[in-house]
Amino acid sequence: MMKEITIYDIADKLKISAATVSRGLKDHPLVNHKTKKLIVDAAEEMGYRSNYMASNLRNQKSNVIGVIVPRLNSSFMSDVIAGIEKVVNDANYNLFISQSLETMKKEASNAKAMLNNRVEGLLVSLAYDTADIAHFEPFIKRKIPLVFFDRVFEHAACPQIYIDNYKAAREVTTHLIDQGCKRIVHITANLLRSVYSERFNGYKKALEEHQLEFDDSLLIVNDLSSQAGVAAAGQILKMPVLPDGVFVANDLCAISCMQTLKKHGINIPQDIAFAGFNNDPTACVVEPNLTTINYKGYEMGEAAAKLMVAHLNNYDVKQMHSVVLRSELIIRESSLRNKSS
Amino acid sequence: MMKEITIYDIADKLKISAATVSRGLKDHPLVNHKTKKLIVDAAEEMGYRSNYMASNLRNQKSNVIGVIVPRLNSSFMSDVIAGIEKVVNDANYNLFISQSLETMKKEASNAKAMLNNRVEGLLVSLAYDTADIAHFEPFIKRKIPLVFFDRVFEHAACPQIYIDNYKAAREVTTHLIDQGCKRIVHITANLLRSVYSERFNGYKKALEEHQLEFDDSLLIVNDLSSQAGVAAAGQILKMPVLPDGVFVANDLCAISCMQTLKKHGINIPQDIAFAGFNNDPTACVVEPNLTTINYKGYEMGEAAAKLMVAHLNNYDVKQMHSVVLRSELIIRESSLRNKSS
DNA sequence: GGAAATTTTACAATCGATTGTAAAATCGCT
DNA sequence: AGCGATTTTACAATCGATTGTAAAATTTCC
């Protein structure tokens, strides 16, 4: 192992004190220009690299921002992470990333690890089954900024970044109704998560606004996976009266469900109109192209990270606003019946 | 800011030395069982959390593994990252993740940041234009394990994780030839990257094996983006003689190219057979389903991370084997002409 | 009961950078 | 030259955990 150069080595070489070297390296005004140059040159020549572990200890800050997400490998989430990385990197922080794999247990253990690693802030999108945020209390107690995005949780101390899921879902459902749908199945996940309950509420609201009764036999709750989509298709096919529309809370599940129905001879959108949520890359590749809600993960990641960095730069700013990002309905063939409209 | 509890606080409270507290907390044999219990209980009660910055400084290790990838938000790469995260997390390391955004410059600056942050190992998939790995020399010099995956670089000191791109490409091309293709376009990216040059070589080899002349007017080099696929389709349409097969070095570009051609009235696979690379989720959604090479990012991430962890646990093991992962040709409708075969 | 053996605990230095404060060096000016 | 004002540098403590070694406490056994 190569011996690392420290400021003491530089100090010795220049017959100067380590304090001066430390100040010189960071352009402190208390050091002479000429000395500064000598120091910087010597550091360069000797191959010095600052030891962040020492400086972090001394400064009592880790320069790290933590991220906990359910899974890293979804189209949406990887966009979010990319956005976060960009902002965090530009702000000279480092990123600790971990995934909860959709369980509250892992989420809690990850949170603990983040806490012990002294992250200066934590960005979180909650797991499916997270019922409370007790495991994040240590952060709140210590006033370590905690920002929720997408799968958020209401808490006075925690800013949130999300889209208006209620409005979006209402919009989608209204669109399906406009296309003549009267029996609309809604496939979603754990209603504990506000993203899903909001979408569900938006769906119900749209029905209500059009004098359609909500029928809970048309509500399918699963994990929105690809397999769940196939199963849901099976469930739909077994319904005594077939629905004429399906609104799924994500594209992945929507597509596998739609394709399964298609294989069983159902015409999309004539027999059943389809709409998803997220605008995954697959949505505009599948045939028919999937109507969906577009909301860009990259921007959400950027927004969350920017909010975090802002807080870290001036924590006193107690105006921790929540941010609602734009989302839009993208109408494609999977739901377009009256081509004229 | 809440005052953090240190081992000294615990020591004071128990009227014991800090050294004993330190040893007690980590179950060191030199501490009495009863004392140990007292210490652990007091720590729990006082809300103690170990300060990794102090311990890292003292132990001269950061417990962090770095990752530099071109982009985080691709289907393949997010799978890789997920696999890496899983392994690294289980091994009680933390992950620093950064993206080079396909430029060598950013890659170098990220590498420098990783170095200063004292990562204990670095996992890298190279940017498009990285011509040499001088910016990683400081790692090699310091014997900090450096592992390349997917977009690898040959260097005696650096293990690599990859698939046999040559073989896979040869297989794909042979398959296209078997389907009756005689003029096969190959769309790929910067041949500086071995993943692409190997695929190109495999493609040429297959041609040669079937007495087909390589025609460099059939080689299209771009950045394999979705837009590039559209442009490539334009290029193909303008060819004096249309090709009867296209082998693209990734699915994203393959699909946009195929769809564009389809819109222009080309029949897939009758007029032109298509094959991609990667088996993106979109590949089995697009119509016709895309023939491609399947190789799982998640497993590659796992393999790379496991290799890294193994090295960190016993660096002397100089048998830094490179790992070649399995890949397989998945034949789908986009290339299937003789349904019988 | 007391010396030897063994267990348990405390001391003190260390990791490397940082910073308030004191001391030293330099400068300006009469 | 000499004195105050100012610039420049050095000292020493600090951040919190770790660990070799010495010292203290306890146990064992004759």
Tell me the pLDDT of chain B averaged across its residues: 92
**If you search the block for the tokens 């077939």, which residue do you land on?**
A242
Instruction: Provide CB contacts within 8 A for A268, sequence distance 6+.
Output: A258, A261, A262, A274, A288, A334
Q: How far apart are CA A125 and CA A304, in angstroms?
A: 11
**Which residues on neighbouring strands pair with residue A121, listed in sequence order?**
A65
Alpha helices in chain A (DSSP H): 7-14, 18-25, 33-46, 52-59, 75-90, 104-116, 137-141, 165-178, 194-209, 226-237, 251-263, 297-313
Nucleic chain C contacts, protein chain B, residues 23-52, CB cut-off 7 A: 23, 30-35
Q: Which of A71, A82, A252 sits opposite B73 (nearest CB)?
A: A82
Q: How far apart are CA B70 and CA B65, in angstroms?
A: 17
Please tell me whether residue A149 adopts helix, strand or coil conformation.
strand
Helix axes B194-209, B165-178, angle to 10 degrees: 40
Residues of A in contact with B78 (CB under 8 A): 72-75, 77-78, 81
Nucleic chain C contacts, protein chain A, residues 41-60, CB cut-off 7 A: 48, 50-51, 54-55, 57-59
Tell me the pLDDT of chain A averaged across its residues: 92
- Distance in angstroms: CA A295, C1' C20: 52
Cβ of A96 within 8 Å of Cβ of B94? The answer is: yes
Question: Is the CB of residue A51 inside 7 Å of nucleic acid strand D?
Answer: no
Please tell me whether residue B170 adopts helix, strand or coil conformation.
helix
- Burial code (b: 16+ CB inside 10 Å, e: under 16) for A274-307 equals bbbbbbbbbbebbebbbbbbbbbbbebbbbbbbb
Query: What are B112-133's pLDDT values in tens digits?
Result: 999 989 999 999 999 999 999 9
Largest CA distance in chain B: 90
Residues of A in contact with B113 (CB under 8 A): 94
Residue A49 has a CB neighbour count (10 Å cut-off) of: 17
Chain A nearest-CA residue for B51 = A116
Integer-rounded Cα radius of gyration of chain A: 26
pLDDT at B317 over 70: no
Question: Is the CB of residue A35 inside 7 Å of nucleic acid strand D?
Answer: yes
Question: Is the CB of residue A40 inside 7 Å of nucleic acid strand C?
Answer: no
Q: Which of A82, A99, A143 sits opposite B72 (nearest CB)?
A: A82
Q: How far apart are CA B220 and CA B248, in angstroms?
A: 9
Question: Is the CB of residue B59 inside 7 Å of nucleic acid strand D?
Answer: yes
Cβ of A287 within 8 Å of Cβ of B287? The answer is: yes
Nearest-CA neighbor of A225 among A333, A334, A70? Answer: A70
Task: Kindly state the tokens that stand for B171.
Answer: 């297989």
Query: What are A293-330's pLDDT values in tens digits?
Result: 999 999 999 999 999 999 898 755 556 678 999 999 99
Q: How far apart are CA A139 and CA A131, in angstroms?
A: 17
Identity of the amino acid at A289:
N
Please tell me whether residue B157 adopts helix, strand or coil conformation.
coil
Residue B200: pLDDT band with limits 50, 70, 90? very high
Residues of A in contact with B62 (CB under 8 A): 53
Q: How far apart are CA B283 and CA B279, in angstroms?
A: 6
If you ran DSSP here, which 8-state letter would residue A278 be given? Answer: B
Q: How far apart are CA B78 and CA A161, in angstroms?
A: 22
Closest protein CA to C1' of nucleotide D26, residue: B32
Structural domains for chain A: 7-50 (1.10.260.40), 63-163+297-327 (3.40.50.2300), 165-295+329-335 (3.40.50.2300)
Predicted local confidence at residue A339, as pLDDT: 58
Strand C nucleotides, any atom under 7 Å from protein beta carbons: they are 7-12, 14-21
Predicted local confidence at residue B105, as pLDDT: 96
Question: Is the CB of residue B25 inside 7 Å of nucleic acid strand D?
Answer: yes
Question: Is the CB of residue B15 inside 7 Å of nucleic acid strand C?
Answer: yes
Alpha helices in chain B (DSSP H): 7-14, 18-25, 33-46, 52-59, 75-90, 104-116, 137-141, 165-178, 194-209, 226-237, 251-263, 297-313
**In Å, how far are A20, A66, A157 from A113, measured between CA atoms?**
36, 10, 21
Q: At residue B233, what are phi and psi to the nearest 5 degrees?
A: -60, -40
Nucleic chain C contacts, protein chain A, residues 257-276, CB cut-off 7 A: none
Query: What are A58-95's pLDDT values in tens digits?
Result: 998 999 999 999 999 899 999 999 999 999 999 999 99
Instruction: Using the CA of A39, give the nucleotide whose C1' is nearest.
Output: D9
**In Å, how far are A147, A277, A294, A297 from A327, measured between CA atoms?**
20, 10, 6, 11
Q: From first to last of its 341 residues, what are the pLDDT tens digits of chain A?
A: 457 899 999 999 999 989 999 999 988 888 888 888 989 999 999 989 899 999 999 998 999 999 999 999 899 999 999 999 999 999 999 999 999 999 999 999 999 999 989 999 999 999 999 999 999 999 999 889 999 999 999 998 899 999 999 999 999 999 999 999 999 999 999 999 999 999 999 999 999 999 999 999 999 999 999 999 999 999 999 999 999 999 999 999 999 999 999 999 999 999 999 999 999 999 999 999 999 999 999 999 999 999 999 989 875 555 667 899 999 999 999 999 875 54
Nearest-CA neighbor of B16 among B2, B35, B3? Answer: B35
Residues of A in contact with B91 (CB under 8 A): none
Residue B265 has a CB neighbour count (10 Å cut-off) of: 8
CB A246, CB A213: distance < 8 Å: no
**Which residues on neighbouring strands pair with residue B98, listed in sequence order?**
B68
Cβ of B99 within 8 Å of Cβ of A110? The answer is: no
Q: How far is A86 from chain B (nearest CA, A)?
A: 8
**If you search the block for the tokens 């409005």, which residue do you land on?**
A167
Q: Which of A50, A74, A116 sits opposite B50 (nearest CB)?
A: A116
Residues of A in contact with B95 (CB under 8 A): 96-98
CB burial class (10 A; 0-12, 13-18, 19+) of residue A90?
exposed
Residue B337 has a CB neighbour count (10 Å cut-off) of: 17
User: What DSSP letter does each residue of A6-65 carry, written as one string?
Assistant: -HHHHHHHHT--HHHHHHHHTT-TTS-HHHHHHHHHHHHHHT----HHHHHHHHT---EE
Integer-rounded Cα radius of gyration of chain B: 26
